[in-house]
Structure 1
């Protein structure tokens, strides 16, 4: 059989498509490559998005901002002094974009006006911190992406 340019191009295209198809099937069916959704209740969260925007705006309107920093015991969040810590009720949610199994949430427990997220729960890498709290009947929300 005589090889010409047309035959070589067709064989090359078929080989490339087979190569790509192999990887698509492997990534779709192999259990060690897990694909996590950001949230299971996507549409329900979308409906409540305006209340989230309002809560974030209230947080940005505070005279002092929330400051987060890494310390040897974990991640420390300094809340504004204008807020009385005993009247704050809420949760801290830490989302790991690369692995849903590492996600966790904590109740807000202060020491003074500081909130410590323990080092034992955090692994190195990127985290998204979401702090939701209620103060005097108003909702507040703080979001930040950190590298730990």
Structure 2
């Protein structure tokens, strides 16, 4: 067989295609490159967008009375002082974008208007926190990204 420009181009294209295919296969098989969904119930969450918007508007009306802060002890959540802590019901969801195994959902059970999530339950890095609670029939939702 005679080696010329056409043969070289075909061999080059074939080698490139093999390289790309082996790379795609390796990424799909290797657990280090896991492609996790943001949430398991993606479509259900998408249908809740309108109700979440009204909850977020309610939380925005609370302004500075409702805050989320990072401290040396962990994540501190301050509820409004005029709220009765026993009547606040809901959940705190902690989402770790880099690893789904660290995601947590914590029920809100308060004796004061302050909730502390200890740093011992969290690892350093980025956390997306979502606080969904109700007080006297009004629903609230606050979402924030924190870095520990």
What TM-score comes out, normalization by structure 1 length? 0.87
CA deviation profile, 1:8-39 (whole Å, cap 9, x unmatched):
44333322222221121112123443221112
Contact 1:64-1:81 within 8 A present in 2 as well = no
Return the alpha-carbon distance in structure 2 between the equivalents of residues 40 and 137 of structure 1.
28
Q: CA deviation at 1:84?
A: 2.4
What is the SS of the residue equivalent to 1:69? strand
Structure 2 runs not aligned, ≥5 long? none
Measured in 2, the distance between the counterparts of 1:99 and 1:47 equals: 25
Aligned length: 147
Deviates more, 1:85-94 or 1:22-31: 22-31
Residue deviations 1:86-117, cap 9 Å, x none? Answer: 21011101011111111011111335321111
SS state of the match for residue 140, structure 2? strand
Report how far residue 41 of structure 1 moved: 1.6
More helix by share: 2
* 21-30 or 61-70, larger mean C-alpha shift: 61-70
Counterpart in 2 of 1:106?
106
- Over the aligned positions, Cα root-mean-square deviation in angstroms equals 1.9
TM value normalised by structure 2:
0.87
Whole-Å Cα distance in 2 between the matches of residues 147 and 12 of structure 1?
47
Which residues of structure 1 form unaligned runs of 5+? none
